[in-house]
Each structure stands twice: as C-alpha cells, then as structure tokens.
C-alpha cells in the first residue's frame, strides 16, 4: 500500500471509533474494549473504554461481566443477559468478565434516541427546569431523563387546580447506578400560597398522593441519574380538603391575642401564621409569602384560638408573643387531621389554602 493511502486508511479506521474508544490507561492490566467490533473477552481481565458523549452501549453475547464507571459505581443493565444495554454519561468505563466469551458491541449517541425516552426532548436551549416548567394535565403519561448532561439535573412540571383536588403521581424511576443516585426527590411548591411539600424516596416505583387546595403548583424532580416516567391524575377532593377560611376578628389579651376565624368544611383544626412586613432584608426564607418575616404560629381545634406565649413544641415551631405597638399580619387555613402537629406534617395532611392576610396592631391591655 502506498504511504498516502496507508495513512488515509489508518485515519478512517481511527475516526470510526473515535467517539467511543480510547487506548487503555494501563495496557498490561486494562486491555482496550473496542466498541463496534467483535471481540473475545477473557475471564478475569479488566477492560476499559471511553465515550466522549452520553449514549447507549449494547453488548451482545454470552459474556457475564460487571460494568463500572471511574467512581466504581456499578452500571445498571437495561437489557437482558445476552443483549445487555447500558445508558452512559460521557466518561471512562470498565468491564470485568467472569467467563471467556465472544461479544459484539455498538454505540448510539443519546441525541439520536432521546425522543424515545422524553415527552419533550431537552437541549441546552430548551431546558425543562424550575424556571421553564412543563405544563401537565390529568391523564398525562410523562417520560424523562436526568443526569446524562450537566445542564439537565432537574426537571420541573406545573399544573393548576381550580378546586380542592386529590393529585396522584405514579412514578417509576430507572437509575443508571443501582447502588448510587437510586433515590429521587419531588419538591412541590404552591406558587401563590402554601408551604413547600417534599418527597424524598428510594422507592423506584411509588404512587405519591396529595390532597391539595386550589392553586398553581410546580413539582420538581431531581437527584436521579437515569430514566423515569410517571402517570399524572387529578380527582375531586372537595370531600377531603378543607374549604377556605378567613380571619373575622382579632382581640388583644395579655401577652396574647384571641383570633376568631370562619368555619371551614372538612377542618378538624385551624392553623394561624403571624408575620410582619420585612425590613432591611430580614424576610423569612421558606414561608409562602414574600417580603414577610415569620414571627409566630398557633394551632387550635375551634374557630376561636387564643395564642399561648409560653407554649413550646419543637415539631411545630415558634409560638406568638405580641409586642405592644407592633403591627402584624395573620392568616388562617383549615387542617383535616386530629394528629396534625404543624408544618412538619404538611406533606401528608389535607390542608386548606391560606386566607388573605388580616392586619392588626397589638395594644397591650392596661389591666
């Protein structure tokens, strides 16, 4: 072969495998795994390959092996024992066969097959995140992938409830690392009012149910590297979720206030939240109202609630002790639970929506 033709042939052969192979880190101990070619894998050897883009690797044959990444995380096989399928991030991977066998292998860039695994295919310019959530409705079946690219660590979905509703997410998670990143979290946020609600689970299949008041919600799915899907369903919840209440009056008492609220359907308890308008950047992070500072809470079983300045319950949080001459905002919501202890239980209790704020200035009684 003439020198120029020989160089050209070598270049073409090299380019064919450039996307998914590399020379071994240590040729003596880690023979190169050549993706795209038939190869005999030797029992007990440790093979290495590299892919410079996220994608799918198929390995067909009778070889039995464990695949790991550079962090020694075991990689999940999405296929069968003779047609093994792996979805991989960009990086280095290693195989250690427990038998000697001939295999075929191939690589497909993830960009060519994402449409099969995502309801809306994401790109750097079209990201589904908390700033650009995807709108969903009852009856939707949603598919997604997370963690294959640095720009795709979180997916977000938004939905609107026109009335109190029972909301179900029937989730199936398919992590690429069975021993790591096998958990996922769902974080709910009611945009207009309400506490954030959180789910953090290691269950790969789980039906997550909430009874929620009307409003607009965003749910964020994160902490997963792999594929997932869920069925979304909305059902009527008017017989479970407390209806709206409101503050009717606030009366000053010694170191306390007496608050009368409107009765709410399905409410076994009533929760009060006291805030002040924030000044000098001292707004409380984590409450559902912007530019306000949380100063206390109260809980009662009737429509008349007298705050207790010395009551303390670690699971419930701060109590309310008013200061003479100070102006406050107070809101109420109904709770459909006899055992509700406070925000710690908000993610598993039917709660109503927060009322509009009632503003009052506390004047300590002179007698």
Confidence of residue 282 (pLDDT cuts 50, 70, 90): confident
Q: Given this model, what pLDDT does residue 155 score?
A: 87
pLDDT tens string 169-199: 898 888 888 765 445 556 555 444 444 555 5
- Please check the confidence at residue 22 and state whether its pLDDT lies above 60: no
**Averaged confidence pLDDT in the chain:** 82
pLDDT tens string 217-245: 888 887 788 888 999 999 998 899 999 99
Q: Do domains 3-111 and 247-361 have the same CATH topology?
A: no
Least confident range of 1-5, 7-11, 62-66, 342-346 = 7-11
Name every residue whose Cβ is closer than 8 Å to that of residue 1 and which is 6 or more positions away in sequence: 9
Q: Given this model, what pLDDT does residue 281 score?
A: 79
Name every residue whose Cβ is closer than 8 Å to that of residue 3 and which is 6 or more positions away in sequence: none
Least confident range of 103-117, 188-202, 335-349 = 188-202
CATH class of 114-236: mainly beta
Helix (H, G, I), strand (E, B) or coil at 362: coil
The CA distance from 205 to 229, in Å, is: 10
CATH class of 3-111: mainly beta
Share of the chain above pLDDT 70, in %: 81
Handedness of CA 340, 346, 348, 354 (dihedral sign): positive
pLDDT tens string 203-222: 677 888 888 888 888 888 87
Least confident range of 4-8, 58-62, 143-147, 283-287 = 4-8
Nearest to 140 by CA among 11, 268, 230: 230
Q: Given this model, what pLDDT does residue 184 score?
A: 58
Confidence of residue 346 (pLDDT cuts 50, 70, 90): low
The answer to whether 321 and 269 have CB atoms below 8 angstroms apart is no
The larger pLDDT score, comparing residue 58 to residue 221, is at 58
- Please check the confidence at residue 296 and state whether its pLDDT lies above 80: yes
Q: Given this model, what pLDDT does residue 196 score?
A: 53
Domain ranges of the chain: 3-111, 114-236, 247-361
CATH class of 247-361: mainly beta
Least confident range of 40-44, 173-177, 245-249, 300-304 = 173-177
Helix (H, G, I), strand (E, B) or coil at 115: helix
H helix or E strand, kind and range, residue 40:
strand 39-41
- Please check the confidence at residue 1 and state whether its pLDDT lies above 70: no
The CA distance from 288 to 281, in Å, is: 16
- Please check the confidence at residue 30 and state whether its pLDDT lies above 90: no
Q: Given this model, what pLDDT does residue 56 score?
A: 95
Across 121-145, average pLDDT:
86
The CA distance from 11 to 15, in Å, is: 6
């Amino acid at each position: 072969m003439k020198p120029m033709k020989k160089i050209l042939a070598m270049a073409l052969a090299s380019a064919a495998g450039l996307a998914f192979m590399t020379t071994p880190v240590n040729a003596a101990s880690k023979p190169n795994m050549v993706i795209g070619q038939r190869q005999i894998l030797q029992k007990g050897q440790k093979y290495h390959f590299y892919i410079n883009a996220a994608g799918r690797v198929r390995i067909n044959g009778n070889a039995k092996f464990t695949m790991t990444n550079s962090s020694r995380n075991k990689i999940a096989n999405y296929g069968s024992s003779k047609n093994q399928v792996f979805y991989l991030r960009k990086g280095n991977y290693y195989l250690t066969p427990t038998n000697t066998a001939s295999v075929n292998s191939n690589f497909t860039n993830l960009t060519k097959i994402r449409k099969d695994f995502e309801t809306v295919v994401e790109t750097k310019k079209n990201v589904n995140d908390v700033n650009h959530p995807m709108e969903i409705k009852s009856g939707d079946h949603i598919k997604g992938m997370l963690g294959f690219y640095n720009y795709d660590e979180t997916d977000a979905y938004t939905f609107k409830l026109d009335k109190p509703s029972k909301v179900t997410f029937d989730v199936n998670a398919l992590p690429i690392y069975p021993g790591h990143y096998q958990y996922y979290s769902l974080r709910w946020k009611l945009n207009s009012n309400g506490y954030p609600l959180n789910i953090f689970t290691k269950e790969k299949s789980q039906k997550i149910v909430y009874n929620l008041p009307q409003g607009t919600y965003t749910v964020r799915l994160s902490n997963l590297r792999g594929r997932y899907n869920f069925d979304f369903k909305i059902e009527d919840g008017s017989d479970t979720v407390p209806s709206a209440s409101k503050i009717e009056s606030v009366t000053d008492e010694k170191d306390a206030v007496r608050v009368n609220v409107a009765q709410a359907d399905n409410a076994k308890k009533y929760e009060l939240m006291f805030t002040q308008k924030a000044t000098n950047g001292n707004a409380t992070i984590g409450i559902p109202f912007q530019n306000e500072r949380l100063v206390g809470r109260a809980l009662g079983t009737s429509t008349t609630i007298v705050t207790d300045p010395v009551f303390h319950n670690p699971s419930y949080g701060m109590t309310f002790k008013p200061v003479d001459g100070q102006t406050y905002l107070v809101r109420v919501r109904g709770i459909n639970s006899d055992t509700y202890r406070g925000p710690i239980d908000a993610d598993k209790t039917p709660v109503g929506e927060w009322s509009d704020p009632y503003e009052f200035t506390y004047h300590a009684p002179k007698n």
